[in-house]
Amino acid sequence: MSFKPISEIGEFGLIERVSAIAAPSLKNAPGLMEGIGDDCAVYRTGGPALQVATTDLLVEHVHFDLLTTPMHHLGSKSISVNVSDVCAMNAEPRYALVSIAVPRKVPVEMVEELYRGMVHAASRYGLAIAGGDTSSSPSGLTISVTMIGETAEHRLTLRKGAMPGDLVCVTGTLGGSTAGLKVLLRERATMIEQLRNNEPYNKDVMAELQEYTGAIRHHLLPEARLDTIRFFRDNDIVPTSMIDISDGLTSDIGHICRRSGVGALIEEGRIPVLPEARSIAEEFQEDALSWALSGGEDYQLLFTVPKGLYDDIAANRDISIIGRITEPEEGLLLTDIYGMTIDLADSGKGFDHFTP
Amino acid sequence: MSFKPISEIGEFGLIERVSAIAAPSLKNAPGLMEGIGDDCAVYRTGGPALQVATTDLLVEHVHFDLLTTPMHHLGSKSISVNVSDVCAMNAEPRYALVSIAVPRKVPVEMVEELYRGMVHAASRYGLAIAGGDTSSSPSGLTISVTMIGETAEHRLTLRKGAMPGDLVCVTGTLGGSTAGLKVLLRERATMIEQLRNNEPYNKDVMAELQEYTGAIRHHLLPEARLDTIRFFRDNDIVPTSMIDISDGLTSDIGHICRRSGVGALIEEGRIPVLPEARSIAEEFQEDALSWALSGGEDYQLLFTVPKGLYDDIAANRDISIIGRITEPEEGLLLTDIYGMTIDLADSGKGFDHFTP
């Protein structure tokens, strides 16, 4: 028997394998409507609303670096990324369970600040932190949040359901999280360099960060688009499919296409790249569009609606219509601003934790 | 501002502090019946049954050691410890969400074996593994499981509710998990010694482990007492209070007493110590009773019932009546086999992850 390191099959490969192993257990739960494979599991409890549940891990040195991440922000983000998954089902969050594994030497005050950030976010989203677990950790902080939400059955929106002709829409702007991360990583390198040379930390560097505040905020303090879910509810809109952009636009529209059995044509010129991300990309001599396409962690909602809803959607200035759903054989295409067509299925697959 | 390391206040101190911070968020959820402070959170969804939810972290080098823990067993245990929390509410498990953070170099086959263990346990308990998350880990395996269950409202059992005069009961046997752990730790030391001396691993040692199989099984493969929950249901028994023994009998009866505002008198001679734990304790020149009282991880159910139910409980040969609930001013006492009374409130507090 030969052994294969996870890095060889990557995160999606691993998820595929463990999902296949877990699949037989799904028949144990007749109330389950959706298992692994969407942003949340969905199940009935006999009440008027469907329940949705999701869970996300945040691991130090993988998802965050304490040198550049204030604990309050980290707490808030750990709640927001889970609320974002609940929103992706067109549901509203209700309860969070929070577990942390934390090194023994970490000051209590840091953990308290982390929880204050969580509670701050919880109150903004109107949810309760209803339980959890604590453990020591031999190395590094790990945060695990589970979020339970609910939605009326007719409002439930899955990744599956997009139809040819539907409009492809995205909330807010993209690329901001990656831009902020780039700035923070550069700042981190400077800090480490100064520490190595025993220089006092130069506060001027911090002051210079102010011009990047917007992008950094997109990275450290993403907001789940619960406002969009409420806009849908108030305007009687039910998207035909939806996902939150955690891996990057390319990867996430890919999930919708695969699960719905359709293709998509995205227009580059319509992708709402954060203007500040463009100027930061220029400074780094990188491409803001590719940050928007495959940087991930923007936590905007990507969804499809029948084209008859064009006016209703266009009325919301915070939603961009970036393309349309096509027949499956047309594949996943991007038309660039010169009219050239690029096959997105060949390009970046979004962020993968296991491939270096 | 002075900073206090977590090790100074311990796990219970930390839980107290973060619970106080999280408390204001509870008012965001009018459907919530129990938040932090019981084995599960409890909430209404408008359906006929109450929902319960719990989450547990298993961290390598804190909760398990891969040298002595087969992945299949670890998977099963990670499900069982959460089912045990659901049972402690007199509820039945329905859905599990499983997250793992795993080092990149770990073979895929090991992760698959872990999930096979989880699915095996899930099928035995009749629950579905309905979702989760995967991440790489810079060091060590972390498993986070969230379990959602349900119970009829009149069957819900909390830590709070024990009344003076109630019988204190415990399922199965205690001390087995600690006994198994002691044997495994000794085995591990031998293995490491052999590795250090470049000796080939001596299989005779493994063969000698066979006489300890029972205790090792209690440690590596604890079973949640869903059978007891079904016994309650089939016999129309609703305990007045319940908890699962994860920290040790002393600590866990303490939780019931504090939450219920009562005292308890436990009779040492009635505590069902696993016979094999007694012989292992003798070998280690330790005290099996103290393993039962404060070793933890036995995952038996500790509960109270009105004394009128004596016959119904005594009919179940797998349940021991170990004492009775008293007035709060009588405190938490243990009568030993010589009739001496010991104040348990002064003794061991059970396992604490943060105090060395």
Contact flag B54-A97 (C-beta cutoff 8 Å): yes
List the 269-298 stretch of A: residues with Cβ below 8 A of B: none
Note the pLDDT of residue B199.
80
* For testing contact with chain A, the best of B1, B25, B111 (most A CBs within 10 A): B25
Contact flag B27-A128 (C-beta cutoff 8 Å): yes
Model pLDDT for residues A213-227, shown as the tens digit of each residue: 999 999 999 999 999
Residue B200 has pLDDT above 90, yes or no: no
B10 inside 8 A of chain A by CB: no
Determine the 3-state secondary structure of A145 from DSSP.
Answer: strand
* For testing contact with chain A, the best of B95, B112, B141 (most A CBs within 10 A): B95
* Short-list B85, B100, B104, B103, CA closest to B143: B100
Contact flag A8-B108 (C-beta cutoff 8 Å): yes
| Structure confidence at residue B261 as a pLDDT band (50, 70, 90) | very high
What tokens does B293 get? 């009282």
* Short-list A77, A38, A265, A277, CA closest to A179: A277
Q: Residue B32 contacts by C-beta under 8 Å, 6 or more apart in sequence?
A: A95, A128, A130, B26, B41, B42, B43
- Bridging pattern class, strands B332-335 and B263-267: parallel
Task: Name the residue with tokens 């080092």.
Answer: B103
Which has the higher per-residue pLDDT, B2 or B9? B9
Q: Residue A302 contacts by C-beta under 8 Å, 6 or more apart in sequence?
A: A168, A169, A170, A242, A243, A244, A245, A249, A252, A253, A256
Q: Which of A3, A21, A115 sits opposite B22 (nearest CB)?
A: A115
Q: What is the mean pLDDT of residues B211-223?
A: 93
Judging contacts by C-beta atoms under 8 Å, the chain B residues touching residue A356 are 104
Show the CA angle centred on residue B143, arms to residues A40 and B218, nearest 5°.
125
- DSSP code per residue over B129-198: EEEEEEEE-SSS-EEEEEEEEEEEGGG---STT--TTPEEEEES-BSHHHHHHHHHHHHHHHHHHHHHTT
d(CA B41, CA B54): 6
Residue B350 has pLDDT above 60, yes or no: no
Q: Delineate the domains of chain A, giving CATH numbers in brackets.
A: 6-155 (3.30.1330.10), 167-177+218-346 (3.90.650.10), 183-214 (no CATH)
Note the pLDDT of residue A195.
83
Residue of B nearest to A92 (CA): B29
Q: What is the mean pLDDT of residues B125-154?
A: 95
Note the pLDDT of residue B354.
62
Task: Report residues of chain A scoring pLDDT below 70.
Answer: 1-2, 201-207, 347-356
Q: Which of B18, B104, B118 sits opposite A354 (nearest CB)?
A: B104
Question: How many Å is the maximal CA-CA distance in chain B?
Answer: 64
* Short-list B77, B113, B100, B69, CA closest to B221: B77
Judging contacts by C-beta atoms under 8 Å, the chain A residues touching residue B61 are 138
Note the pLDDT of residue B352.
56
Beta bridge partners of A36: A38
Mean residue pLDDT across chain B: 92
Length of chain A: 356
- Residue A152 burial class via C-beta count within 10 angstroms: exposed 0-12, middle 13-18, buried 19 and up: middle
d(CA A352, CA A246): 11
Residue A154 Cα distances to A50, A91, A299, B231, B343, angstroms? 10, 11, 24, 39, 58
Residue B245 has pLDDT above 70, yes or no: yes
Contact status, residue B260 vs residue B160, Cβ threshold 8 Å = yes
Q: Which of B3, B51, B146 sits opposite A146 (nearest CB)?
A: B146
Q: Residue A137 contacts by C-beta under 8 Å, 6 or more apart in sequence?
A: A101, A102, A103, B59, B62, B142
- Residue B101 burial class via C-beta count within 10 angstroms: exposed 0-12, middle 13-18, buried 19 and up: buried
Note the pLDDT of residue B355.
58
Q: CB pairs below 8 Å between A and B: how many?
A: 316
Q: What's the gap in Å between the CA of A326 and the closest CA on chain B?
A: 30
Q: What's the gap in Å between the CA of B51 and the closest CA on chain A?
A: 8
Note the pLDDT of residue B198.
83
- pTM for this model (two decimals): 0.93
Judging contacts by C-beta atoms under 8 Å, the chain B residues touching residue A51 are 45, 51
Model pLDDT for residues A141-179, shown as the tens digit of each residue: 999 999 999 999 999 999 999 999 999 999 999 999 999
Contact flag B59-A137 (C-beta cutoff 8 Å): yes
A148 inside 8 A of chain B by CB: yes
Task: Name the residue with tokens 């934790």.
Answer: A353
Residue B8 has pLDDT above 90, yes or no: no
d(CA B161, CA B157): 8
Note the pLDDT of residue A227.
98
Model pLDDT for residues B68-120, shown as the tens digit of each residue: 899 999 999 999 999 999 999 999 999 999 999 999 888 999 999 999 999 99
- DSSP code per residue over A257-310: HHHHT-EEEEEGGGS-B-HHHHHHHHHTT--HHHHHHHT-----EEEEE-GGGH
Residue B280 has pLDDT above 90, yes or no: yes
Q: Which of B31, B128, B150 sits opposite A35 (nearest CB)?
A: B128
Q: Which of B102, B146, B356 sits opposite A97 (nearest CB)?
A: B146
Contact flag B25-A133 (C-beta cutoff 8 Å): no
Q: What is the mean pLDDT of residues B335-346?
A: 87
- φ/ψ of A327, rounded to 5, equals -65, 150
